[in-house]
Amino acid sequence: MSNELAMVMPVYNEEACIAGVIDSWRRLLATLDIRFELIVINDGSLDGTAEALAHFREDRQIHIINKPNSGHGPSILMGYHRAVQAAEWVFQCDSDDEISADYFRDLWVRRNEFAALFGTRTGRQQNASRKLITLGSRLAVRLRYGQGVSDVNTPYRLMRADLLDQIIRQIPADTFAPNIIISGVLAKNGVPIYEHPVRHVSRQTGVNSLRNLKLWNSAVKSLWQLIWCCPVISNPMRAGQN
């Protein structure tokens, strides 16, 4: 593979910040001298996100996919399937600028020691519903797969492509929260995981698409899929070694 890193960034209605977020990642990766591809999946945004992304069309390191809306989880999976074929390492982050690109360095420098490296969110401001759902997700993963990951749905994760490829082949394309399942599978198989604290800041632009009844419906769907989807990894320790 020619790339060391493939980044997956799902986007929905982030016209106000997406250009700045992409620029911040390009600057950081340039300082680390990483050969990379950034895969940006525009999930049917209804604002000017597509127009903002058009600015990067001539950049050969940035691959933009504009598609009909299917949800955050399916968009991540679409990006993962491309990313595992493009690089040795896959990194997923969100596009809302809630976690700084600067923390990535702390994960990248330790990649040879681990097969998966997660940013564990600190300082996260959540309402009562989201706190309950976050706690429930963590408990569900521990009951289904065993303890191993503190922030099971963190959108700031670096994983070996060969290991991730095995897992996502077994996850349905319409899965609402694939990262929760991936965290559980890694924990169950004893894959070497590193967790690093990353400061979470409240979004300054845009609006969270999951609120009220929709939020709870999504949580129930995620729990159901978590129960019934249990990917198997062959030789997990070998897959996580350089």
> pTM score > 0.85 for this model?
yes
Give per-residue pLDDT as tens, 24-77: 999 999 999 999 999 999 999 999 999 999 999 999 999 999 999 999 999 999
The DSSP element (H or E) to which 5 belongs, if any, is: strand 3-11
Q: What is the mean pLDDT of residues 112-120?
A: 96
CA separation for the pair 143, 205 (Å, rounded): 36
Angle between the N-to-C axes of helices 178-188 and 161-168, in degrees from 0 to 180, rounded to the nearest 10: 110
Give per-residue pLDDT as tens, 118-171: 999 997 765 565 565 566 666 666 767 777 788 989 999 999 999 999 999 999
pLDDT of residue 148: 72
**Which value, to the nearest 10 degrees, does the dihedral of the CA atoms of residues 100, 161, 187, 107 take?**
-30
Distance in angstroms between the alpha carbons of the first and the last residue of the chain: 14
Q: Domain total for the chain?
A: 1
pLDDT of residue 226: 74
CATH code, domain with 215: 3.90.550.10
The domain in which residue 226 lies consists of: 3-239
pLDDT of residue 234: 84
pLDDT of residue 144: 74
**β-bridge partners, 40:** 9, 64
